[in-house]
Amino acid sequence: MAPYLVLLVIAFITSPSAAAQEREDRGFRYRDGECVDPDGKRGLNPGFVGECGLLRGADLRGYDLHQLFLSGSDMRSAWLTEVDLSGAELHEVILRSARMHGAVLQGASLVEADLERADLQAANLEGADLTGARLRRARLKGANLRRAHLMNADFRSADLRSVDMRGARLQATNLRGAWFNEFTLLPFDLDRGRALQQGMVYRP
């Protein structure tokens, strides 16, 4: 075999695979609402399941992510069906259009998270902190939002049918256009009449 071909084969064998490169931690960390490296450069860690991870469309089904620090990550359109994210730190995470049916987010911190159009049907968000989160057009049918912190959250046009919201904190929460039905368990201070006054829509 020609020397240059030998060198080419050795380089191919010893070079890291594309998949390994994609999972590289490039040192970006979430600080003061931004993902930056030690030099102050902004960015994300491609394929990194952790802080400031770039996980767009990633299939994370079967992962145990409970109590993991994932703040600053871009997880839009990711597959998180029935994944355990209980107690996880998800500050300003982008979960737009993520598939989170049946996910466990009990006690998770989703402050300022982007959950627009996310599928959160039957998800457990009991006690979760969704302060300032964006859930416009999110599907939450059958979800558990008991004692969740929903202050300043945006639920416009979200599907809240059959959702348990007892004990949830709703100060300055935008519920305009959100759907509810006879099985939606609203907080004690938000009866059906007040829900309609706030712009919610009754849908069986």
Chain-centroid distance, C-alpha 190: 26
Q: Is the confidence at residue 6, as pLDDT, over 60?
A: no
- Predicted pLDDT at 23: 73
In the predicted structure, residue 57 carries a pLDDT above the cut 90: yes
Alpha helices, DSSP H, located in the chain: 3-14, 18-22, 192-197
The pLDDT of residue 24 = 81
**CB half-sphere exposure, 159, CA atoms < 13 A:** 15
Collapse the DSSP code of 185 into the 3-class scheme (helix H, G, I; strand E, B; otherwise coil) and give the result: strand
pLDDT score recorded for residue 189: 76
Q: What are phi and psi of 66, to 5 degrees?
A: -70, 140
Between these two residues, 194 and 141, which has the higher pLDDT value?
A: 141
Closest residue by Cα to residue 65 from 121, 2, 108: 108
Reduced to 3 states, what is the DSSP secondary structure of residue 22?
helix
Give the per-residue pLDDT at 157: 98
For 93-134, what is each residue's pLDDT tens digit? 999 999 999 999 999 999 999 999 999 999 999 999 999 999
Mean pLDDT within 195-202: 94
- Token readout for 97 is 């259009």
Sign of the alpha-carbon dihedral angle for 133, 137, 72, 102: positive
pLDDT in tens, 59-80: 999 999 999 999 999 999 999 9
Give every CB contact of residue 160 below 8 A, 6+ residues apart in sequence.
140, 141, 175, 178, 179, 180, 184, 200
Distance CA 109, CA 111 (A): 6
For the chain, the average pLDDT equals 90
Q: Taking the mean position of all CA atoms in its chain, how far away is CA 75?
A: 7
pLDDT over 80 (residue 14): no
pLDDT in tens, 16-26: 333 433 478 99
Work out the pLDDT band at 7, boundaries 50, 70, 90: very low
The predicted pLDDT at position 18 comes to 34
φ/ψ (deg, to 5) at 140: -120, 20
- Check residue 45 and give its pLDDT: 97
Contact yes or no for 48/68 (Cβ under 8 A) = no
**In the block, residue with structure tokens 């100060």:** 171
203 pLDDT tier (thresholds 50, 70, 90) = very high
Please name the helix (run of DSSP H) or strand (run of DSSP E) that holds residue 45, with its range, or none: strand 45-46
Q: What percent of the chain has pLDDT over 70?
A: 89
User: Mean pLDDT across the stretch 138-158?
Assistant: 98
- Whole-model pTM? 0.87
